[in-house]
Structure 1
Amino acid sequence: MGASYRQFCPVSKAMELLDERWTLLVVRELMLGSDHFNQLRRGLPRMSPSLLSRRLQQLARAGIVERAESGGEVRYRLTAAGEELRPVVEALGVWGTRWIPDLADPDLDPKLLLWDMHRNVDHAVVPPRRTVVAFEFMDVAPGVARWWLVMTAGDVDVCDDDPGDEPAALVRTSLRTLTEIWRGDRTWASAVGDESLRVLATGDVVSALPGWFLLSPFASVPRPVPLTHEPVH
């Protein structure tokens, strides 16, 4: 736990635990369904494994996370106290979407974007057979420019190596463009319209593809209306 604020205020007592770097993001990942260490790492790709291990230990000692081991497999889940943080994390996401909209280039991460997208696939509309969608980002280094989502019945996997299947679609775009679509900052149709996103596929897949992916849970958050300044007469 972080250094004490030496205040009796319950907000300060809560923040002694929660304002340490990465802590609330670990809680966020657990809320989104990651329950294995490697799943947590994939959702927090820039967090070192040793720091993730320390944060999980701290959260477990505080009664926020429960560690369960069965058959050599370790799972983490939120306790009742951890679940009570859900509206706090959701409110922070809404606030950040509305009031901190700017994305710097270092904020963009293809691994994190595809990981977020893979857990928001609409299985009710994707083809029932094994289906691969390839993504090629034109504005990142060649080593991290190509990614694949492999969709099967009720499951999706993220691959950074070619899975060998002929893709049903190849999406060519910039990392920023796809991130903005995912966040709800712009639409798929507008990106296709200005050719900042291109889909190479048969006509039926081109039209169906946007519906295969649900957007970020915060994509529908209303943005502030820009102030308009009336001319001074």
Structure 2
Amino acid sequence: METKASYGQFCPVAMAAEIFCTRWTALILRELLCGSTRFNDLRRGVPRISPTLLSKRLKELEQAGVIASRTGTGGDEYQLTPAGEDLRELVMKLGFWGQNWVDTQKSLKNLDPSLLMWDMRRNLDPTPIPPRRCTIQFHYPELPLARQNWWLVVEGRDVDLCGVDPGFEVDLYVECSLRTMTAIWMGLTNVQAELNAGRLEMTGDKLLAGSMQKWLGLSPFARGERLSA
């Protein structure tokens, strides 16, 4: 079923591209593959898309049989169908290709603290963190005041992200530039290297500080080795 401009070719590549290659679609699929199911969570992962366009893209994906929706107690939820799940390898390989071949230094200019923190929140591994509630504050001093501070609140296996002070005592305070934290997250550097270079500072719980690289982890797209040009 055509939902947008067609290439007009009976070709598997053309037919797939009509679904996959529209603007924002690959990023929406990335979010769904990472576990987001609700509209607001999808928006947090793709913050620059308008609600109207996100709704449109979700309807197109549902019409194409890539996702299915259902109405739950908290609103509509979206799940990948087998056809959508079958796109996982394609989306991951696209990310690895970007990590391997796109000029990372140029793309580091396109930084978004909300997207970075949201990605960190859903990939955080609480295993090395004490079983009590732990609050970790990240401070990016070069950003506008309203976007400088972010809090991850970890309690057991639950991890919450707050853009305003949750009111809990801070166990670990982390300060660096957004560029530095993004580079750590993407595997371009590591926590210890940035500490040694003076680009990263941590104060507070020594256990949390010492295990940061373990509980922080890496972006899923940082796991492939960058190829030589």
Quick check: TM above 0.5? Answer: yes
In the alignment, which residue of structure 2 is the partner of 1:141? Answer: 144
Aligned residues, how many? 226
**Gaps spanning 5+ residues in structure 1: where?**
227-233
In structure 1, which of residues 74, 82, 88 is the aligned counterpart of residue 76 of structure 2? 74
Give the TM-score of the pair, scaled to structure 2: 0.94
Q: Which amino acid aligns with 1:95?
A: W
Q: Aligned partners of 1:70, 1:112: CA distance in 2, in Å?
A: 26
* Letter of the 2:85 counterpart: E
CA contact (8 A) 2:190 2:213 kept: no
Identity %: 43
For residues 163-202 of structure 1, the aligned pairs below 5 Å read 163-202=166-205
The 4+ residue runs of structure 1 with deviation greater than 2 A are 70-73, 101-106, 202-206
Aligned-pair RMSD on alpha carbons?
A: 1.4
Q: Quick check: 122-131 or 46-55, which moved more?
A: 122-131
Partners in 2 of 1:205 and 1:222 — Cα distance?
27
Where 1:172 maps in the other structure, the secondary structure is: strand
**Secondary structure of residue in 1 paired with 2:70:** strand
For 1:119, what is the secondary structure of its paired residue? helix
* Structure 1, 1-10 or 82-91: larger mean CA deviation: 1-10
Segments of structure 2 that go 5 or more residues without pairing to the other structure are none
Q: CA offset at residue 106 of structure 1?
A: 4.8
1:103 Cα shift? 3.6
Structure 1 residue identity aligned to 2:34: L
Q: TM-score, normalised by structure 1?
A: 0.93
1:15 to 14, 17, 22: 17
- Code of the residue aligned with 1:113 in structure 2: it is L
Compute the displacement of 1:17 (Å): 1.4
Report the AA paired with residue 12 of structure 2: P
Partner of 2:32: 30
Distance of aligned partners of 1:74 and 1:123 in 2 relative to their CA distance in 1, 3 Å threshold: same
**Map 1:27-106 → 2, pairs under 5 A:** 27-71=29-73, 73-100=75-102, 101-104=104-107, 106=109
Change (3 A) 1:192 1:3: same
CA distance in 1: counterparts of 2:153 and 2:10, whole angstroms: 51
Q: Following TM superposition, by how much is the alpha carbon of 1:11 offset from its aligned partner in structure 2, in angstroms?
A: 0.3
Structure 1 counterpart of 2:154: 151
